[in-house]
Amino acid sequence: MAIETRARIAIDAMGGDHAPDEIVAGAIRAAEELDAEVTLVGDKEKIDSCLQHHSHSQKIKIVNSEGVIEMDEEPLTSLRRKPKASINVCMDLVKQGQSDAVVSAGHSGAAMAAALLKLVASKG
């Protein structure tokens, strides 16, 4: 008999246009429609403020982070200079087994580099 488990998704709440407002709204919808366990990663105060503007029945976790990799920044240098940036913290949650996947609408080069550095390189 297969045991069904909920997907655990770490979402970079600070990445992308109109973040964190639009990201939080999408995360709430995903949590409800996918029955997923969602962890929003970013500035806790800003995320809390956004959550107050939405009605939702799902419990959404928040993990605080410090900083964001901006779209005009060089990914690898920025990831190393900002170890507590939201995308780095998201990847750490997967590495530590607390999340199964990461979603980010932010700097795609930074997301890819963070995944390579934290998930792929750590296995070798």
Give all domains of the chain, ordered by start, each with its CATH number.
8-123 (3.40.718.10)
The pLDDT of residue 124 is 55
Instruction: Please measure the distance between the N-terminal and C-terminal CA atoms of the chain and give it in whole angstroms.
Output: 33
This prediction's pTM: 0.92
With bands split at pLDDT 50, 70 and 90, how would you rate the model's confidence at 56? confident
Q: What percent of the chain has pLDDT above 90?
A: 83
Q: Is the pLDDT of residue 123 over 80?
A: no
| Whole-angstrom distance, CA of residue 47 vs CA of residue 4 | 29
Q: At a CB cut-off of 8 Å and minimum separation 6, what does 70 contact? A: 78, 107
